[in-house]
A and B are shown apart, each in its own frame.
Chain A
Amino acid sequence: NAGVTQTPKFQVLKTGQSMTLQCAQDMNHEYMSWYRQDPGMGLRLIHYSVGAGITDQGEVPNGYNVSRSTTEDFPLRLLSAAPSQTSVYFCASRVTGTGSYNEQFFGPGTRLTVL
């Protein structure tokens, strides 16, 4: 199993550009999520999904869109990049059980810089 994969590993954007961060998992996990990690702020949840066709907002959703057409894929779209979105983005997945009681498996991350 490849686990959780993310592409690209690094990306530089100009302000106003749009792009999609890709995330895929081969563990048949129903729950997938996107986090951003900034120095001193831990990991903050952007969006999450409990299954294909179902998405919901986390604590910092503004400026990001997601969709979940398949169990395997959960892309994150930046609509109009801003310097404040410079961050490291992690995708994670887990088995959907009761609440948040299952360990999350994280991808290797995408380092995004917005100029």
Chain B
Amino acid sequence: GESVGLHLPTLSVQEGDNSIINCAYSNSASDYFIWYKQESGKGPQFIIDIRSNMDKRQGQRVTVLLNKTVKHLSLQIAATQPGDSAVYFCAENMAWQNTDKLIFGTGTRLQVFP
């Protein structure tokens, strides 16, 4: 029979537009969050992180927003480029528990078309 895989939400954007990828994290006790990018055939790669004492952090072309009230994390990519096409994962951590174990979300596929 046909296997059923994870249904990854897909975001399709036009090159040059801004992208917003959302993530609902699971644990209100999490205090450290990371966004990873995974290109086809490669391992996940760190993009940006944020601590729970912040609600916004900016990097180069990327911004992460954290809303602890509703346990929501978003990644904004400015002027999306074809090279941004990948699967994006959010991950959460409870650093206050002295653990570096990460809990990963299921991921969102970003497709950039010309």
- Verify that A and B bind, or say they do not: no
Residues of chain A having any CB pair with chain B under 8 Å: none
B interface, CB within 8 angstroms of A: none
